[in-house]
Amino acid sequence: MPFTLRDYSPSDFEALYEIDQACYPRGIAYSRRMLRWYLSQRGSLCIVAQATGAAEQALVGFLIAHARGPEGYIVTIDVLEVHRRSGIGTALLQEAERRLAKAGVRHVGLQTATNNEAGVAFWRRHGYRSSGVTRGYYLGRIDAYDMFKELHQPRRPATA
């Protein structure tokens, strides 16, 4: 399925909320209030993936990240189940990492459930490593890996 990446627009909010609700169980999926809060934070970036087929222009995934100086954090990456394993998550992540590095971020962190085998494999495949476990991170009973990746800074043109 062809798709394009673009910046979040406030008119996308309900679609993002619906995607998040479809991707995560109740209690882990964000409330509208929390999703708005993450989107409104200083240093926040949100990239959306939009289907570009003739019949549809629907949003199929998104990623929210934050940049604060040399530290970045991936809040969530959501891709509708029917569109997973089609390169959308990888494209979202690569674009977010590119933007974070351009903003001066050197270290990106995230959490992912220890029982989410596909998620853990996705992050490892993209160079993230575990630095420990946070007990009860999700719903007070599901542990999460604390994962991180060092970003390479974009090359600056040589000056003459």
Average pLDDT over residues 93-101: 96
Which of helix, strand or coil describes residue 154?
coil
What pLDDT sits at residue 144?
95
Measure the CA–CA gap between 81 and 19, rounded to whole angstroms. Answer: 9
Secondary structure of residue 95 in the 3-state scheme: helix
Domain architecture of the chain: domains with CATH: 3-150 (3.40.630.30)
pLDDT at residue 27, as a whole number: 86
Examine the pLDDT at 1 and tell me if it is beyond 90: no
Task: Calculate the CA dihedral of residues 107, 108, 114, 115 and round it to 10 degrees.
Answer: -150
pTM over 0.85: yes
